[in-house]
Structure 1
Amino acid sequence: MKEITDFKDLRIWQKGMDIAKECYFLTKKFPQDELYGMVQQIRRSASSIPANIAEGYGRRTTGEYRRFLSIAQGSVNELQTHLLLAKAVGLCDSSDIELLINELEYENRMIITLIKKLS
């Protein structure tokens, strides 16, 4: 197992980056009139997941790290909501978001586990 010397070594951050990239690819298929609506919301919440994991990792205290992990967890829930709404209003199909939803559930479990380990 590789030693963790940087936030980029964290599997939880790497998974968050993968999710964010997939969301960018997905939203490229959305209609142009959603650019400042659903596209922006999905991309913002998706990028917030690894960003908060990275920011928390760089903080001085364990309590601050846990706080940023909790924010990342909120972004996971927000992103799931946006994806489900996008499906509900016909911007994408179930098949478009099924893998992403599964990855988000896995990311959420990893965040919960890390928060518990830091407590």
Structure 2
Amino acid sequence: MHNFKKLNIWIDGMEIVSETYKLTKTFPDSEKFGLVSQMNRCAVSIPSNIAEGTSKSSDKHFNKYLEDSLGSAFELETQLIIAYREKYLAEEKYNILIKKINQLQKMISGFKSRLSKSLDS
């Protein structure tokens, strides 16, 4: 079992949640039940799956939750691209968030790889 609050992937995921909420508050009202809702749910899902995975009885089960978390990160990246193409955010903000999401994707992938190697040993 891991203490999720000490995992950098969880900490960085929580930061992305905050930034996503701040960003989506600026979107048009017409997106309230569309892109806003979807982006917020995806962002929340990233650290939530990491936290839930730490409660599992085996690293094999934890790995599945990390996979779900990674999937949510890719989903959020896609939604951010959509928001940028719809001109809901400036290029500078877009680039900053994409970079953070991509970095987190790499971190989660690396964590999964290390966890898988420990399962193989």
- The two structures have a TM-score, normalised by structure 1, of 0.93
Aligned counterparts of 1:90 and 1:116: Cα–Cα separation in 2: 36
Give 1:66-105 correspondences, 5 Å limit: 66-105=63-102
Aligned counterparts of 1:39 and 1:47: Cα–Cα separation in 2: 12
Query: Counterpart in 1 of 2:7?
Result: 10
2:17 counterpart SS class: helix
Letter in 1 for 2:105: N
Per-residue deviation, 1:96: 2.1
Say whether the 8 Å CA contact 2:2–2:54 is kept in structure 1.
no
Aligned counterparts of 1:114 and 1:6: Cα–Cα separation in 2: 14
The total of aligned residue pairs comes to 116
Percent of matched pairs sharing the same residue: 37
Structure 2 unaligned regions, length at least 5: 117-121
Structure 1 unaligned regions, length at least 5: none
Give 1:1-119 correspondences, 5 Å limit: 6-119=3-116
Per-residue deviation, 1:49: 0.3
Aligned counterparts of 1:42 and 1:90: Cα–Cα separation in 2: 15
Which range is displaced more, 64-73 or 94-103?
94-103
After TM superposition, what 4+ stretches of structure 1 lie above 4 angstroms from structure 2?
A: none
Aligned counterparts of 2:101 and 2:19: Cα–Cα separation in 1: 11
Letter in 1 for 2:84: K
- Quote the RMSD (CA, aligned, Å): 1.3
- The two structures have a TM-score, normalised by structure 2, of 0.91
1:59 counterpart SS class: coil
Per-residue deviation, 1:5: 6.0
